[in-house]
């Protein structure tokens, strides 16, 4: 390998490359394009993935929502079409029966009311909640605090409102904390303002009030509208979902096969669909990128083959002057490797630059389409090394062609 460190070898390569500027640049563009596409596609796919992750962002993705409907099968003397509601007893039973599987369980009640502050008003959702809901979907608080256990125990008339509600109901520069707003003609003290931080949001603009307060004010007793269950890590969430539903059916005298009595929405499986889609995109990216790379390498091989044909006479002269087949072969392979290396590096730099531009233009802000489009350095290194190896292998073809030509035939070319 000592020829690699011989300045003469490089002098020769520099000479032949400098002479053939056009073909050299075309060759370089071929491979550059391949690795450029690979980098940009991988980066874009990553950006898309990051975008999705940001979308689901602060939501515990292994969550199930459960609500009730009306039965579709008569059971235990009840007719079909019976309506019923979840209650606090269900919550207690589920908590004790699924102690291992359930991480958080939040019963919720919800309604919609006119909310008034001074002369401003608006219609918003009102949700009776336990503080645990903050664990399931993290609320980003701009001012104050979220509901706590004391609020539940005391059934305090306090509320946490959204940023938009704050803007609609309050004058500019008025500190909302400690102010009172009227929900359904009852005064509530504002204790916090949150910003809906992710785009996928099950609550929208909601005024959160303590669950116990809600029960009293709206006279719902121990009824529950719906619940959110977050599973522990490692729990099969689909299995848990069907088990929980079966338990609830037992508690409410619903036929086990009843399909309409309970509704549920499994966030985990929905997200799995997105993730599958992302995997598909990534596979496509790799496929297209690598195929383009290979095409680029073949372009190098092709151009080198033409070059060898073009330079038959030169090769003949060199051989008449004492060049061994080995030295000719070395030179051509080295040229191939050198070109692929330069092209690869330029492609990576250009790709990174384009990703930088994408990031600057589409990667920032809350509505970013491609968040942080990046490519792993090890992946790029692997692609780069593969490129060089392919460059060497493809260089073998023209190199072999150059040496099987007999010097006399090479010299005869005019």
Residues in contact with another protein by CB under 8 A are: 7-8, 11-12, 15-16, 18-19, 313-314, 316-327, 403, 406-408, 411, 414
Nearest CB to another protein, comparing residues 72 and 314: 314
> What is the spatial distance between Cα 359 and Cα 353, in angstroms, rounded to a whole number?
10
Distance in Å, CB of 353 to another protein, minimum: 33
Nearest CB to another protein, comparing residues 18 and 76: 18
Give the pairing type, strands 158-162 and 186-195. parallel
Evaluated on CA atoms 265, 271, 276, 281, the torsion sign reads: positive
Nearest CB to another protein, comparing residues 328 and 387: 328
> What is the spatial distance between Cα 358 and Cα 41, in angstroms, rounded to a whole number?
12
Q: H or E element: which one contains 140?
A: strand 140-144
Distance in Å, CB of 333 to another protein, minimum: 17
Nearest CB to another protein, comparing residues 249 and 318: 318
Overall size of the chain counted in residues: 414
> What is the spatial distance between Cα 341 and Cα 15, in angstroms, rounded to a whole number?
18
Distance in Å, CB of 317 to another protein, minimum: 5
Distance in Å, CB of 407 to another protein, minimum: 5
Nearest CB to another protein, comparing residues 167 and 326: 326
Alpha helices in 126-236 (DSSP H): 133-136, 149-154, 163-169, 211-217
φ, ψ at 246 (rounded to 5°): -65, -45
φ, ψ at 68 (rounded to 5°): -110, 155
Contacts of 273 by beta carbon, 8 Å cutoff, 6+ apart: none
Distance in Å, CB of 374 to another protein, minimum: 43
Q: Specify the residue for token string 């619903």.
A: 254
Which residue in 199, 398, 222, 197 sits closest to 312, CA to CA? 398
Nearest CB to another protein, comparing residues 2 and 79: 2
Distance in Å, CB of 321 to another protein, minimum: 4
3-state secondary structure 247-316: HHHHHCCCCCCCCCCEEEEEHHHHHHHHHHHHHHHHHHHHHHHHHHHHHHHHHHHHHHHHHHHHCHHHHH
Distance in Å, CB of 300 to another protein, minimum: 21
Nearest CB to another protein, comparing residues 16 and 275: 16
């Amino acid at each position: 390998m000592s020829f690699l460190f011989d300045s003469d070898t490089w002098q020769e390569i520099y000479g032949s490359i400098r002479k053939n500027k056009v073909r050299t640049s075309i060759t370089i563009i071929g491979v550059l394009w391949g690795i450029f596409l690979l980098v940009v596609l991988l980066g874009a796919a990553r950006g898309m993935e990051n975008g999705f992750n940001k979308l689901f962002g602060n939501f515990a993705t292994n969550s199930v929502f459960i609500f009730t409907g009306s039965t579709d099968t008569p059971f235990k003397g009840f007719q079909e079409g019976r309506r019923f509601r979840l209650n606090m007893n269900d919550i207690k039973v589920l908590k004790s029966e699924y102690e291992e599987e359930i991480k958080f369980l939040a019963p919720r009640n919800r309604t919609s009311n006119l909310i008034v502050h001074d002369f401003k008003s608006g219609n918003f959702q009102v949700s009776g909640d336990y503080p645990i809901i903050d664990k399931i979907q993290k609320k980003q608080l701009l001012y104050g605090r979220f509901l706590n256990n004391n609020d539940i125990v005391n059934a305090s008339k306090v509320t946490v409102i959204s940023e938009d509600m704050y803007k609609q109901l309050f004058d500019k520069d008025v500190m909302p904390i400690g102010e009172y707003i009227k929900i359904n003609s009852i005064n509530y003290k504002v204790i916090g303002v949150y910003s809906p931080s992710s785009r996928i949001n099950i609550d929208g603009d909601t005024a959160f009030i303590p669950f116990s307060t809600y029960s009293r004010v709206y006279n719902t007793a121990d009824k529950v509208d719906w619940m959110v269950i977050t599973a522990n890590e490692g729990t099969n969430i689909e299995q848990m979902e069907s088990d929980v539903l079966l338990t609830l059916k037992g508690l409410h005298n619903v036929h086990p096969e009843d399909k309409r009595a309970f509704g549920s929405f499994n966030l985990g499986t929905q997200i799995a669909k997105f993730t599958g889609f992302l995997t598909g995109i990534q596979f496509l990216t790799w496929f297209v990128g690598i195929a383009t790379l290979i095409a680029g390498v073949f372009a190098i091989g092709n151009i080198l083959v033409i070059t060898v044909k073009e330079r038959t006479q030169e090769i003949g002269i060199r051989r008449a002057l004492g060049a061994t087949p080995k030295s000719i072969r070395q030179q051509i392979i080295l040229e191939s490797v050198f070109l692929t290396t330069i092209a690869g590096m330029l492609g990576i730099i250009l790709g990174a630059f384009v990703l930088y531009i994408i990031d600057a233009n589409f990667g920032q802000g809350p509505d970013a389409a491609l968040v942080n489009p990046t490519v792993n350095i090890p992946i790029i290194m692997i692609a780069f090394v593969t490129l060089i190896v392919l460059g060497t292998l493809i260089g073998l073809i023209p190199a072999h062609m150059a040496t099987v030509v007999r010097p006399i035939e090479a010299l005869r070319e005019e």
